[in-house]
Every structure is written in C-alpha cells, then in structure tokens.
Chains A and B, each alone.
Chain A
Amino acid sequence: MYEIVAFYLFSALTIGLFLVTVLSKNVLYAMTSLAAGMVLISGFFFILGADFLGAVQLVAYVGAIMALYSFAMMFFDATRDIKEKNTNPALVFLLGGLSAVVLVLMFAAPIHSDAIQALYPMHEGVGNAQDVGIILFTKYLVPFEVAALMLLVAMISGIILAGKKMDQSLTEDMSADDEILTQKDEK
C-alpha cells in the first residue's frame, strides 16, 4: 500500500517537474525543477531496493552535476528569459507522443520472464551496498577503473576549457550590463 502510494506520488511529481524543465522559458526554473526531479528519482531507486544507487544518484546527480550546472550558470546570463524559436509544436508533440505511445505499448506488453536468468543475483540478507561493492570490484573492475579515468579526463578538460581567459568577464559587455540595469529600473 505504502509502496503504491509512493510510486504514484513520485511518478506524478517527476513527470510534472520534468515537464517544467522541458517547457519552462526560465533557466533557473528549469534547473531547479530538474534537480527536484532527480531527487525524486532517487526515491524510485530506494523503493526498488537499490539503496546504493539512490545514494549515488543523490550525491552525483543532485550534488555534483546540478552544482556544476549552477556554477556554469554563473557564466551565462541566467536572469533573462530564454528567447528562442521553438520547433513547430505539432511536430514535437507528434514525435514525442508517438515515441511515448510506442514505448508504453512495448513495455506494457507481457514479458516472458522464464527464460531470463540472473547473471549477478542479489543475495537475501546482505546489504545492497555490499553486493554492489563485491560485483563492482570483481566483475566490473576494469570498466570501473576506466570510468574513473574518464572522469579524471573530463575534469581536466572541463577545467582547461572553462579556465581559459578567466580574467575576462563574460558580462563585461556594457550593453548587457545596461540591459540588466534598465530591467531593474523597470521593476
């Protein structure tokens, strides 16, 4: 009962929040709703018993990635609404809707689960984190190390790319400043 309530609540909230992310004109709104949606996704993970994954979701996504976004935002002008010529909504919703319908149809179909055998079964009575640790450092050791290396490379490249010409202000452009001032004046 409690699980059902939690599932539907999380589902509704996540979908709503992500819709805001996708449809909002304001960057801050979009980012905030994205972060909130990710927190709720970690809720799904906890329901599903993937405790460690939920924790990682919180730490990596909400903690690291969203923080990265918010820092990056400081380089851009986040105060203004984004003006963009959105693609023809008919096409967008046709494609999105079609993919949703097809995917839902596919997933709603009954799955023949007899033939499926667990490669790395979970063990009763052992914590999820322990299980994950054992598998991650045995079967998946090489991908894990590669992923670690990849993160290191990404970090260095991020630093270098963003760090160039740090001394120049992106908003040094006087016209942009003036615009902000005039907006403030209007308020």
Chain B
Amino acid sequence: MIGLSHYLIVSALIFSIGLIGVLRRRNLLMLFFATEVMLNAVNIAFAAISHYYNDLAGQMFAFFIIAIAASEVAVGLGLLIVLYKKYGTLDLDDLASMKG
C-alpha cells in the first residue's frame, strides 16, 4: 500500500533534483526551470498530506503556489527578456556586476 511517506520521499527527491539544478546552472532560464521543479515537488507534498489527513488546506496552498509560480514566471520572463536585450546573454558569470 502506498503511504504518505512514499509521496513525501518522492517529493523530497524531486526537490533535491531542483536544488541540484539551482546549484549547478549558470543560465538564468535554466535556473527558472529548476525553481519550477522545486515548486512542483512541494505541491506534491501538499497534495499528499492533504489527502492523507483528509484536509483541504493543503490543496489550497498548492493552488496559491501555482498562482504565485504563474506570476513569478510572467514577471521573471519579462525581466529576462529585458536583460537579454541589454546584455545579449543570460549567463550569470557574465552578468556579475555587483562585485563587492
């Protein structure tokens, strides 16, 4: 029988994959993809907990996460386009302009 732990473990693994992406990637677009992966991992955990505790609050949170993800993508992509227009690249190594 599949229990809550199974879902949570899958969620943890996917989250770690997202984390690896965040750590590894230097391209902003790929960083966005990695964050989407992490958000989805969390959504799985919410839905699973919601199911196993018979509580809808988890699903509600998942909804709002999706809404936030959508906004983030809309604004973020807009910014990416502006950046690309300005610098011609999305590589963070080339965009490092805030050296302390």
| Residues of B with C-beta under 8 A to A92 | 20, 23-24
Interface footprint category on B: 35 or more
B contact patch SS: helix
Partner among A56, A84, A131 whose Cβ is within 8 Å of the Cβ of B63: A56
Closest B residue to A7 by CB, please name it. Answer: B2
* B33 and A31 within 8 A (CB): yes
Partner among A15, A56, A155, A168 whose Cβ is within 8 Å of the Cβ of B14: A15
A85 to B92, CA, bound (A): 10
* A22 and B17 within 8 A (CB): yes
A contact patch SS: helix
Q: A30-B30, A93-B20 are in contact. Are A158 and B9 (CB under 8 A)?
A: no
CB distance from B19 to the nearest CB of A (A): 5
| Residues of A with C-beta under 8 A to B12 | 100, 103-104, 106-107
Give A contacts to B, CB under 8 Å: 3-4, 7, 11, 14-15, 18-19, 21-23, 27, 30-31, 34, 37-38, 41, 44-45, 48-50, 52-53, 56-57, 60-61, 64-65, 68-69, 72-73, 75-76, 82-87, 89, 91-93, 95-97, 99-100, 103-104, 106-108, 111, 113, 116, 118-122, 131-132, 135-136, 139-140, 143, 147, 150-151, 153-155, 157-162, 164-165, 168, 170, 173
Give B contacts to A, CB under 8 Å: 1-2, 4-21, 23-27, 29-30, 32-34, 36-37, 40, 43-44, 47-48, 50-57, 59-60, 62-64, 66-75, 77-82, 84-85, 88, 90-91, 93
